[in-house]
Amino acid sequence: MAARHADGVVGYADEVWWSRLAQPAMHAWGETLRLEVKSRAKDDAQPKALACYGLLRADQDQVLLRFVEGRPVSLVTTTFLAWVAHRLAKDGKRVWVLVWDNAAWHVSRAVQAWIGTHNRTVKRTGGVRILVCQLPVKSPWLNPIEPRWLHGKRAIVEPDRTLTAHDLMDRVHRHFRCECLEPLHQHGR
């Protein structure tokens, strides 16, 4: 129903890890190519992988991205939700049907409480109301953002060298045609 109204949007959310070392399976002319996992130099202090939140907007077939310093947790999830709600409100949306899985940080009390508080505030002051639709457990094929992650990992692969964290983020942003924003910070850091 939300997709049929100009002020509604369906958004499929998920998190993904982008590895600087592991390589995705690649396919060429019916064969699977196996790229070698890279080793990290002893003086390389950058993380092995970077976490990223994403939302596939069904109305625009566009992915919104935010990298995370650290890992996805409830408080960073609420920061991501607030950022997306703000973006959608700027686009004139009033209802966001949020489709995502049952990750611990999605179903946590903190996230559920934040969504409830957000929706009560929106009712009084305006903005984007969030309606959560959780996917069944262990059903990633039902979330259309999942194949986007796979294609993205194949598109940014670098077989000849280990990418820096900055290079990796830049390639991901370019692949998804997203603006490069500051990563979300872990609260308390």
pLDDT reported for residue 48: 84
Q: What pLDDT, in 10s, does the model give residues 55-68? A: 999 999 999 999 99
Cα separation, 138 vs 131, whole angstroms: 21
Average pLDDT of span 178-186:
90
Residue 21 pLDDT > 90, yes or no?
no
Burial of 142 (0-12, 13-18, 19+ CB in 10 A): exposed
What secondary structure does DSSP assign to 136-167, as a single string? PTT-GGG-TTHHHHHHHHHHT--SSSPPPHHH
> Cβ atoms within 10 A of the Cβ of 114, count?
19
Tokens of 149: 């992650």
CA 26 and chain centroid, separation? 22
95-100 and 26-28 strand pairing: unpaired
**79-125: pLDDT as tens digits:** 999 999 999 999 999 999 999 998 888 889 999 999 999 999 999 99
At residue 189, does pLDDT exceed 50? no
CB 96 within 8 A of CB 58: no
Amino acid at 33: L
Quick check: 186 and 75 in contact, CB under 8 A?
Answer: yes
Q: What pLDDT, on the 0 to 100 scale, is given for residue 4?
A: 67
Contact 162, 54 (CB under 8 A): no
Helix axes 165-176, 146-155, angle to 10 degrees: 120
More confident residue, 64 or 40: 64
Fold assignment, 2-176:
Nucleotidyltransferase; domain 5 (3.30.420)
Q: In this predicted structure, what is the pLDDT of residue 109? A: 95
Let me know: does 130 contact 2? Beta carbons within 8 Å: no
How far from the centroid of its chain's Cα atoms is residue 10's Cα? 15
